[in-house]
Chains A and B, each alone.
Chain A
Amino acid sequence: MTSQPRRTVVWGHLVLLAVIVVTVVAYLLDARGVSTRTTNLLLVQPLSIIALILAAFVLPGVFVRADSDEARARDGETPVQLARCIALIAALGFLAFSLELVGFDIATFAFMVFATAVCGERRWPVNLVFSALFTVLLIYGYGMITPFPFPLTVL
């Protein structure tokens, strides 16, 4: 008797697929709420349905065999490595939302210090000097190339 290969759930993939499906359904409902006229739904409605059908085809790929390449790739990743990616994403979000609030100079410096450390720089003096120099050079250098008024607090 042959035993069935064990299957594991790729949770991250499931979350991504759920995000796509929820976005598509929400968009379709929103579009239908605006108007059900053909000129509004001509592309959006059939394409949303196709996207949902495709998502149904993708769904079995979320439950992969434990001995598959995809499962092995996930197993090869440590929680610390995943945490570093998530920390960098969080830092990027902080940068995006804080640029106008605290000024480009402070937000950039804070992001640089944190992200450089997350990316693996353990020498704090090197990190702080590099981040400060890069921030100053970028603020003045980018200002020369792109004459756009970036909100600043210190520089």
Chain B
Amino acid sequence: MIELDSVSAALSLLASDASAWLYVLPGLVIGLIFGAMPGISITMAMAFALPATLYMEFLPAIIFLTSIYTGAGFGGSVPAVLMNIPGTSSALATTFDGYPMARSGRHNEALGVALASSVLGCLGSYLVLLLIIGPVASQVLKLGPLEMFAVAIWGMLLLGSLAGTHLARGLLAGAFGVLLGTIGFNSAGFVRGTMGIPWLLDGVPQIPAMMGLLAASQLIGLVNTTYLISDESARKISFRKTLSGIRLTLRYPAILLRGSIIGVLIGAIPGVGSSISNLLSYSETRRNAPDPETFGQGNPKGVIAAEAANSSSEGGAMGTMLALGIPGGGATAILLAAFAMHNIVGGPSFIANNKDIVYALIFSNFAQAILLLFVGLGFVYVASYIVRVPLHFLIPSVLVVSNFGAYAIEGSAAGPITLWVFAILGWAMLRYGYPVAAAVVGLLLGGLLESNLLRTYQISGGDYLGYAAERPAALLILGLMLLSVGMQALAKRRRARSAASEAGGT
């Protein structure tokens, strides 16, 4: 199951490269700080830091970004507990019991519970990844261009249909993203949609476009928000009580395990991720608890369930991204863009040819999770100040840094101009209920979709049906794809009807 040769190579890779470790601590701290600021999402933190990885080696760059991912996972729970505001969407369920705990004077305990659950959830998810990545690698290599096309389309459809409340808007966002991703040269040598702009020949600059869609657009939307400083109450931090929260978490291994399993499974599905897994884990824990009536009133089991699930989603999402090269959401899209920035193509061949790097990433994440325990303990002392950083200083500062990053990556004004155009697009999409992540993933996958479809066309000689009939895996994926999207459409219609009947009844 675990390939020992690759494990040994991974350990020697990590032992010989000190720079791989140098970026773990800064990454965790950046993740914690950004995650703790309400309104700043995990993807925004990663998009903001992405240009800084341009001059790093590949492994340290990815470790730096995954450290931010890990840190932001716990960071989001700090304002959720202290101020009833989830720092990130994945910490929503943490507010249900975390804030009532804080209101009854148990904020230290709640932070300790959240920290321990995050650490253990993250460790658990990467343990699962360690066990399955070897067998998965050998299976995904069997995927041909038609299967890869079908998987990419499935991921896109799931992302478009699951994110947001409107199915058509989600699918339109994904389709529009894919079309934008095919601008420039295609693999058959045709140049389309460049409008005579030379720097569009290589396609839309992906990283500035992602920074615009994921980070700048959200910051523009926050310009009228002042909630960062709405709660002025100071809460005293106690190291001893935080530690007692950590001990309390260990008393509920079943909730931790359930949350971690839900997190890994949900995290692996494109479009779902940690923002859904924390809610699902919370509701399952509440449903199975002997004391469901105490949930929502400061039950630490609710915090454990939510935090274990949202932090373990990271491992699931990483698994899909590493195995298939298909990002499940904004955070893994940024990781895939970092791969591309270092001239590395993610997907089946990467995992098969670079198992040592994949195992090194997994081991590094074990270390990140353990280090998070100690950094997080120190962080809770300063967190209550960080959550009150005024947005009127933060928004312009982050926008300027994003522009510098976009310029450094492209080496010309093409970066900032792309960032600006996509910031406007992302802001408008967010405003009118379009899932921006679907457009981002479409933009990233546009080229892959077209080249795989083109290859399928060339291999099959235009006889798609005959070719597909010889590829049962592709047919299975297409069948599952149609089934899952059909079920999503039905579920959304049912929800809309019940909402309408409730509105009519009142």
User: CA A108 – CA B450 in complex, angstroms?
Assistant: 39
* A28, chain B: closest CB distance, angstroms: 9
> Which residues of chain A are within 8 angstroms of B392 by Cβ–Cβ distance?
116, 119-121
Contact (Cβ within 8 A) A115 B395 = yes
A125 CB-CB contact with B under 8 Å: no
Residues A85 and B427 in contact in the complex (CB < 8 Å), given A44-B182, A93-B420: yes
Whether, in the assembled complex, B377 has its beta carbon less than 8 Å from a beta carbon of chain A, the answer is no
A10 near B393 with CB under 8 A, answer no
Q: Which residue of B lies closest to A38 (CB)?
A: B457
Chain B, residue nearest A94 (CB):
B420
B179, B408, B425 interface centre (most CB from chain A within 10 Å): B179
User: With A10-B432, A85-B221 in contact, do A40 and B396 touch (Cβ < 8 Å)?
Assistant: no
Contact digits for A4-43, partner B, Cβ 8 Å, 1 yes 0 no:
0000001011011001100110110011001101111011
Given A119-B395, A150-B404: A39 and B188 within 8 A (CB)? yes
Chain A min CB distance to B445 (Å):
11
A137 to B400, CA, bound (A): 12
User: Residue-by-residue, is B299-323 near A (CB-CB < 8 Å gives 1, otherwise 0)?
Assistant: 0000000000000000000000000
Residues of chain A lying within 8 A (CB to CB) of residue B411: 148
B434 to chain A: which residues have CB within 8 Å? Answer: 16
* Contacting pair B178 A130 (CB below 8 A): no
Point out the residue from A30, A39, A115, A119 that lies within 8 Å of B193, measured CB to CB. Answer: A30
Asked if B282 is an interface residue, CB under 8 A from chain A, the answer is: no
Q: Are B52 and A145 in contact (CB under 8 A)?
A: yes
- Contact call A100/B413, Cβ cutoff below 8 A: yes
Question: Interface size class for chain A?
Answer: 35 or more
Q: Mark B393-409, 1 if CB is under 8 A from A, else 0.
A: 10111011101110110
Taken together as a complex, chains A and B put the C-alpha atoms of A125 and B423 apart, in Å, by 30
Most-contacted residue by chain A among B391, B407, B424 (CB, 10 A): B407
Residues of A within 8 A of B417 (CB): 96-97
B374 at the interface (CB under 8 A from A): no
Nearest-CB distance from A59 to chain B (Å)? 9
Tell me whether A96 and B419 are in contact in the complex, defined as CB-CB below 8 angstroms, given that A16-B429, A61-B169 are known contacts. Answer: yes
Which residues of A pack against B, CB within 8 Å?
10, 12-13, 15-16, 19-20, 23-24, 26-27, 30-31, 34-35, 37-40, 42-44, 47-48, 50-51, 54-55, 57-58, 61, 70, 77, 81, 84-85, 88-89, 92-93, 95-97, 99-100, 104, 108, 111-112, 115-116, 118-121, 130-131, 134, 138, 142, 145-148, 150
A43–B192 contact, CB under 8 A? no
Instruction: Add 18 more A-B contacts to A39-B186, A92-B403, A146-B404 (CB < 8 A).
Output: A16-B432, A34-B192, A43-B182, A43-B450, A50-B175, A57-B168, A61-B166, A81-B224, A92-B220, A95-B400, A95-B403, A95-B420, A96-B416, A96-B417, A112-B400, A116-B392, A120-B226, A146-B405
Are A111 and B396 in touch, CB under 8 angstroms?
yes
- Which residues 241-257 in B have Cβ within 8 Å of A in the complex? none
23 CB contacts below 8 A, A to B, read A13-B431, A16-B434, A35-B190, A39-B186, A42-B454, A42-B457, A44-B182, A50-B175, A51-B175, A51-B179, A54-B171, A57-B168, A58-B169, A77-B224, A84-B224, A89-B220, A89-B420, A104-B404, A119-B391, A119-B392, A121-B393, A142-B401, A146-B55
